[in-house]
Amino acid sequence: RAPSVDASERADRALGERGRRMSSDANADARRRRAAELRAECERLRDENDLFEIHLARIAPPGTEQAPEEDAEDAGAKRSKGSKKSKVKTDAPVVRDRLTDAERLDAVTAESELLERTQRETEAANERGLMDLRAACDEVDACLQELKKAAHDFKREVAVGAVNERTGLVDPSRWLRHSEQYVRMRESTAEKLTLTNKTLRNQITHAEATLRQKEEMGEVLHAVDFEKLKIENQQYAERIEERSAELAKQKDSLAAASTTVTRLKRQLDEAGARMRQLQADMDQKRYYMGTFDANLAVAEKEHAAAYKLNKNLLTASNSTENPGVMEYVHLKNEVQLPGVME
């Protein structure tokens, strides 16, 4: 009995240890999941705190700084001691350790709008820079083309065309003529560019004056324009509502039409299947009719042959040349009787 009791105790201990290991493994898995959730929550809170610090640094007035945590703790301890000593002073500011959802939403919205505005400004600045670079590239390309053309003309008219075949030297008169012609061409180009620049400046001045005049008129007629825009906005809203109602009606009509089309398609498919079935039945009946006609023709031929045979037999039976039935039987017996006797 003692060994059996020891064995049962060992089995109970083994089961208990196994249960503790399983529970410890389950607790470890739960702790790991909880640790992962806490890490994710910490990352989210860290990002949120960074955003709030940026927002606070942007909206805080200059010269203000946050109090250190130790000073805040000391101030909180002093306030707690003072509250224990006397409960008369209850007008101390309430220090909150957490923002409300509305404040958090306002902060996030403000930072999002700031980022969007900064992005738009950056994109506009980059676009202007890109346009300037494109203009500079176009100018450089134009200069290169002009220099290539000038070099080609110089080579054609001076370096090659102005060389004396006898002496091998360049004719100075042709060189001077080419230089004067090139200088006149550059001067005419400069005059054209000056006129174009003046025209563009006049256009810019006129556009700025027009814009300034429009802004001044807009400030004068702001109330009238606002009322007019309100009336137009109301009219447009009514039109939008009417169009929306018409669109809803058209959607309903389209849904009904789609249902009708689906039903008609189903009926058409059923009619097609029935038509195919009837066509197969008609083909089968045509085949039976053809077979019946062939059998009828064969039967008619057999009937004609049998009628002809019957007619011949009737004719032969009614003829006087042939013996009667009884006589035919007696004659047949007489003919067969000697053979039997033998």
d(CA 210, CA 203) in angstroms, rounded, equals 10
d(CA 126, CA 242) in angstroms, rounded, equals 44
pLDDT digits 0-9 by tens, 92-122: 445 556 677 787 788 888 888 888 888 989 9
3-state secondary structure at position 163: strand
pLDDT digits 0-9 by tens, 245-285: 888 888 888 888 888 888 888 888 898 889 999 999 999 98
Cβ atoms 170, 159 nearer than 8 A: yes
Cβ atoms 139, 171 nearer than 8 A: no
d(CA 218, CA 213) in angstroms, rounded, equals 8
The predicted pLDDT at position 311 comes to 81
The predicted pLDDT at position 126 comes to 92
Radius of gyration (C-alpha) of the chain in whole angstroms? 59
The predicted pLDDT at position 222 comes to 56
Cβ atoms 76, 95 nearer than 8 A: yes
Which residue bears the tokens 């003829």? 319
The predicted pLDDT at position 319 comes to 62
pLDDT mean over 145-149: 86
Confidence of residue 63 (pLDDT cuts 50, 70, 90): low
The predicted pLDDT at position 88 comes to 41
Cβ atoms 226, 219 nearer than 8 A: no
The predicted pLDDT at position 118 comes to 87
3-state secondary structure at position 170: strand
pLDDT digits 0-9 by tens, 154-176: 888 777 777 777 777 777 787 78
Between residues 342 and 212, the one the model is more confident about: 212
C-alpha distances in angstroms, 44 versus 11, 47, 51, 97, 298? 49, 5, 11, 17, 100
d(CA 30, CA 115) in angstroms, rounded, equals 40
What is the percent of the chain where pLDDT is above 70?
74
pTM of the model: 0.36
Which residue bears the tokens 């059996």? 4
List phi, psi (to 5°) of 114.
Answer: -65, -45
The predicted pLDDT at position 218 comes to 59
Give the tokens for residue 160: 């090659």
The predicted pLDDT at position 83 comes to 47
Non-local CB neighbours of 164 within 8 Å, separated by 6+ positions: 170, 171
